[in-house]
Amino acid sequence: MDTAPGTQASNSPLTEATATAKDDTTVPTTTPTTSNPSPLITSLSWGKISIFPTHGLTLNTTKDIKLYPGGARPWDWNETGTRHKPGIQLADVEELLAHGATVVVLSKGMQERLEVAEGVVERLEGRGVKVYVAETKEAVRLYNELVEGGNKVGGLVHSTC
């Protein structure tokens, strides 16, 4: 199994590791396994997201997280140069698809300030991916509903503005 750079693998079904957030705080992260479903989001508040199944692990990502079949990790906008405008890029979503997501939920933030770049939804749909775009609380509700329905769901969650 491959692990994210700077992480260590364990024998648990959902591998736990740590990563350093932009503000130098250590945050737990997970790496995917092929047999696990997408993690459920158990709570959401401004800047904090808790997921399951990770033995009660809370991912304090400061504000953003990527979720995909078998795992989750902090979503670092600097990796792809993402900004509120023009918004979520295709490059942000590619990792979710690489982990087997066939349905993608994109959150626009609690105050809907995060946009989705022009053409992203159309390009994903052209590849057979079902895409939902919503305000963060609605996106989390929809994401969990899709996971519980047995779908291979990926999500980008922006838990602040």
**pLDDT digit string (tens) for 86-127?**
999 999 999 999 999 999 999 999 999 999 999 999 999 999
Distance CA 71, CA 85 (A): 27
Q: Which two tokens stand for residue 35?
A: 């047999």
Write out the residue range of the structural domain in which residue 131 sits: 15-158
Q: pTM of the full predicted structure?
A: 0.75
Q: If you count them, how many residues does the chain have?
A: 161
Q: For the chain, how many structural domains are there in total? A: 1
**Domain-embedded: residue 8:** no
Q: Which of 8-12, 42-46, 77-81 is the most confident on average? A: 77-81
β pairing state of 64-68 and 153-158: antiparallel
CATH of the domain at 136: 3.40.1230.10
38 assigned to some structural domain: yes
CA 38 to CA 84: how far, in whole Å?
26
Contact between residue 109 and residue 77 where contact means Cβ atoms under 8 Å apart: no
